[in-house]
Amino acid sequence: MLDFAGTVFNFRDAGGVATTDGAAVRSGLLYRSDALCDLAESDRAAYAALGIRTVIDLRKQVELDRYGRAPQWSCERWHNVPLNNPMWRHEDYSPADGVAAFLTERYHEAAVHAAADIATAVRILADPDCGPAVVHCWGGRDRTGVVVALVLALCGVADADIAADYHRTEQGTARFLAWRDRHRPGKLPLEPYLASTPAEAMLVFLADLRRLHGSIEAYLLSSGLTSAEITALRTRLRTAA
């Protein structure tokens, strides 16, 4: 996790992880984060050192209208790719079934309803001129988690390593809650499905997606991505095996 003075708690490099064929995902090219709208001016130098050229914001327009976008200085190219996934309903959560089951179902909803949006985000990352990029939503966990997981899967990262990266979001959540306790005391606890990102949720989601579509690549091809774009993504993000 990278530390920023503003209220950004879940910013980290998604690269630097090995693939199953002996290659690796390059460090410094794909970052993931919670919302960047609160990057502080005092963060500017540390952020600039990362060389980020592209920001992909997965939030809906209502979120942009309420909270704003990343600062102009945060990138050369800013893309809003709102995922058209259904709004979550608390009544769909069953304590008996648990958090992982609830989240897996929500991610499948996104995979169905936001398939074209997910493909658009991956297409931007495949662009040879994309440069170092950061993908974010509000908390950097669910929408961001799905997009980054699929990118890592296309690059050949094992599901267990993808799920471990996803699970690390709990560290960002803990940092946010510590900040909230200091600056906004008295807030109610987060719902269980907002407070944790169990690795099981991502493992089951990826396994189910392969069972339904044959492979992650097949799912993204059916969502509008092309074989050439998948090849370009791998060329840009992977080291040689």
Q: Which domain holds residue 152?
A: 12-85+97-235
Within-domain flag for 92: no
Whether the predicted pLDDT of 97 surpasses 90? yes
Q: What would the two tokens of residue 96 be? A: 């008996």
Position 129 scores a pLDDT of 97
Whether the predicted pLDDT of 7 surpasses 90? no
Position 1 scores a pLDDT of 84
Mean per-residue pLDDT, 59-84: 97
Q: What would the two tokens of residue 76 be? A: 């050369």
Number of domains in the chain: 1
Whether the predicted pLDDT of 23 surpasses 90? yes
Position 4 scores a pLDDT of 85
Position 3 scores a pLDDT of 82
Position 241 scores a pLDDT of 81
Whether the predicted pLDDT of 78 surpasses 90? yes
Within-domain flag for 56: yes
Within-domain flag for 4: no
CATH number of the domain enclosing 137: 3.90.190.10
Within-domain flag for 91: no
Within-domain flag for 184: yes
Within-domain flag for 178: yes
Contact call for residues 159 and 207 (beta carbons, < 8 A) = yes
Within-domain flag for 1: no
Mean per-residue pLDDT, 139-157: 98
Mean per-residue pLDDT, 14-28: 98
Within-domain flag for 65: yes
Position 5 scores a pLDDT of 78
Position 112 scores a pLDDT of 98
With bands split at pLDDT 50, 70 and 90, how would you rate the model's confidence at 165? very high
* pTM for the structure as a whole: 0.97
With bands split at pLDDT 50, 70 and 90, how would you rate the model's confidence at 6? confident
Mean per-residue pLDDT, 73-99: 96
